């Protein structure tokens, strides 16, 4: 019996694609982990973006998670895109 070896790069890309699709289904456009920071990017209508940011700050308080809006912009269609940066856990 011959066991085929999968290309690790192809496996990583396939898994990242599944993760990204799951996040898009939840309204998130991207997830980037860099070092100890977790970054979540959302693209939502203005009122929904404001509510989502407030929800995230309630869920991940600044004092414990060092949560902050790292970047935001208004898109041509009026939606707001923002990136929230936080620590992955509060120890």
The answer to whether the predicted template modeling score (pTM) of the entire model surpasses 0.85 is no
Q: How confident is the model at residue 29 (pLDDT cuts 50, 70, 90)?
A: low
Confidence at residue 50, expressed as pLDDT on a 0 to 100 scale: 96
- Pick the closest to residue 66 from 83, 84, 82, 43 (CA basis): 84
Are 60 and 67 contacting, i.e. CB atoms less than 8 angstroms apart? yes
What residue ranges do the domains of the chain occupy? 28-86
């Amino acid at each position: 019996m011959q066991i085929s070896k999968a290309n690790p790069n192809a496996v990583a890309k396939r898994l990242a694609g599944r993760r990204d699709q799951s996040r898009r289904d939840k309204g998130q456009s991207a997830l980037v982990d860099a070092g100890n920071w977790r970054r979540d990017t959302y693209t939502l209508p203005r009122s929904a973006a404001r509510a989502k940011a407030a929800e995230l700050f309630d869920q991940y308080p600044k004092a414990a998670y060092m949560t902050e809006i790292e970047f935001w912009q208004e898109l041509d269609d009026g939606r707001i895109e923002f990136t929230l940066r936080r620590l992955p856990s509060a120890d």
